Amino acid sequence: MATGEYNRDQRYISTRIAADGPYPVEAGRYRLVVSRACPWANRAIIVRRLLGLEDVLSMGVAGPTHDERSWTFDLDPGGRDPVLGIERLQEAFLKRFPDYDKGITVPAIVDVPSGAVVTNDFAQITLDLSLEWAAFHRPGAPLLYPPELRAEIDEVNAVVFADVNNGVYRAGFASSQEAYEKAYHRLFDRLDWLSARLADRRYLVGDTITEADVRLFTTLARFDAVYHGHFKCNRSKLTEMPVLWAYARDLFQTPGFGDTIDFVQIKQHYYQVHRTINPSGIIPAGPDLSGWLTPHGRESLGGRPFGDGTPPVRAV
């Protein structure tokens, strides 16, 4: 019997770029394809910038809207990615798997010489940028996945993914009242848990920014602009949850985070692509986003954003 619950297709291409695999880590060989609208891709944009991988891993940016076939490069001249020479990300997937029948998703890493996709496993991509690409990190790059904290980071990431990152989608795409309310309560129960956890600590795990903060931030950044209204996650706005709002502003104002956010493209994507939820395609004019740059006061909790490292300095 159908329950109306939304179940994300998590059949990703699990190939990894690693020192001992068929796709070894090499400077200049690969292209990270993202969309600034997508929270999963936004993670990879942030991690690439924090680690200073811009010169060794190029980045192609797809437009904020797409059809059922694929993300497209309509932001580029002629509608083609200037490095890969393709109009649709789908072309890179079909280059490797001619019968590919799963989702064409971002982030994806493409092998430039062959033009074939390597992986779209978004969770593993950011971990591998920290671990497998370490030889190419900038001087002063932060440790986003330190060995002594990995078990705790993994534990936090698991519940945040299930209840928050994917939880907003479970609420937004639910097709029954029961499924929606179940997802709604699960989401806000977890946000309350996160508020309590962050009330007396600056970051989710340890006293520096880690992979856990990156993963939560990209959902919080989209909360009021999209999820509150579009996905009916409307018990509270982010701006009405004092601890999480201050935490999100703290990260937003940290180099590598807010400078990767494009609220215009975020709203264009959700409100124009999800026509089953928003048939008119009308993009809301609000909310007022000026508050993201207001003082957050989280410095009083201590913590060092980059640990013994330094912030990134180059523009995205």
Same domain as 151, residue 205: yes
* Under 8 Å between Cβ of 88 and 70: yes
Q: How many residues does the chain have?
A: 316
Which is catalytic among the residues 30, 38, 145, 233?
Answer: 38
CA dist., res. 254 & res. 251, Å (int): 5
* Under 8 Å between Cβ of 121 and 13: yes
Q: Clarify whether 169 is annotated catalytic.
A: yes
Q: What percent of the chain has pLDDT over 70?
A: 98
Please report the pLDDT score of residue 314 as a whole number.
64
The pTM of the full predicted model, rounded to 2 decimals, is: 0.97
Q: Which two tokens stand for residue 273?
A: 């692509």
Tokens 């519940």 label which residue?
159
Rounded to the nearest integer, the mean pLDDT of the chain is 96
CATH code, domain carrying 188: 1.20.1050.10
Q: Parallel, antiparallel, or unpaired for β 116-119 and 58-62?
A: unpaired
Specify if 8 maps to a domain: no
Which phi and psi angles does 235 have, rounded to 5°? -65, -45
Distance between alpha carbon 28 and the CA centroid of its chain, in Å? 23
How far lies 239's CA from each of 65, 222, 233, 249, 289, in Å? 27, 12, 13, 10, 10
Q: Residue 296's CB: how many other CB atoms inside 10 A?
A: 17
Same domain as 292, residue 200: yes
Give the neighbor-by-neighbor strand order of the sheet with 116-119: 58-62, 30-35, 108-111, 116-119
Same domain as 172, residue 42: no
Which is catalytic among the residues 30, 169, 247, 271?
Answer: 169
Q: Clarify whether 145 is annotated catalytic.
A: no
The CA R_g of the chain, rounded to the nearest whole Å, is 19
Query: Which region holds residue 52: left if phi is over 0, alpha if psi is between -120 and 50, else beta?
Result: left
Residue type at 58 in one-letter notation: S
Q: Which two tokens stand for residue 119?
A: 């992986």
Specify if 101 maps to a domain: yes
Same domain as 130, residue 55: yes
Residue 234 predicted with pLDDT over 70: yes
Specify if 162 maps to a domain: yes
Specify if 12 maps to a domain: no
Specify if 238 maps to a domain: yes
Same domain as 255, residue 214: yes
Specify if 7 maps to a domain: no
pLDDT, tens digit, 9 for 90 and up, residues 265-304: 999 999 999 999 999 999 999 999 999 999 999 999 999 9
Please report the pLDDT score of residue 2 as a whole number.
59
- What is the number of structural domains in the chain? 2
Q: Parallel, antiparallel, or unpaired for β 30-35 and 58-62?
A: parallel
Residue 192 predicted with pLDDT over 80: yes
pLDDT, tens digit, 9 for 90 and up, residues 31-75: 999 999 999 999 999 999 999 999 999 999 999 998 877 899 999
Q: What angle do CA 242, 247, 253 make, to 5 degrees?
A: 125
Range of the domain at 229: 147-301
Specify if 3 maps to a domain: no
DSSP 298: G
Distance between alpha carbon 162 and the CA centroid of its chain, in Å? 14
**Domain end: 136, 157, 174, which one?**
136
CATH code, domain carrying 130: 3.40.30.10
Residue 147 predicted with pLDDT over 50: yes
Query: 62 in helix, strand or coil?
Result: strand
CA dist., res. 44 & res. 119, Å (int): 13
Q: Is 71 labelled a binding residue?
A: yes
Residue 201 predicted with pLDDT over 70: yes
**Domain end: 136, 168, 196, which one?**
136
Please report the pLDDT score of residue 1 as a whole number.
40
Going through 135-220 in order, the beta strands assigned E by DSSP cover none
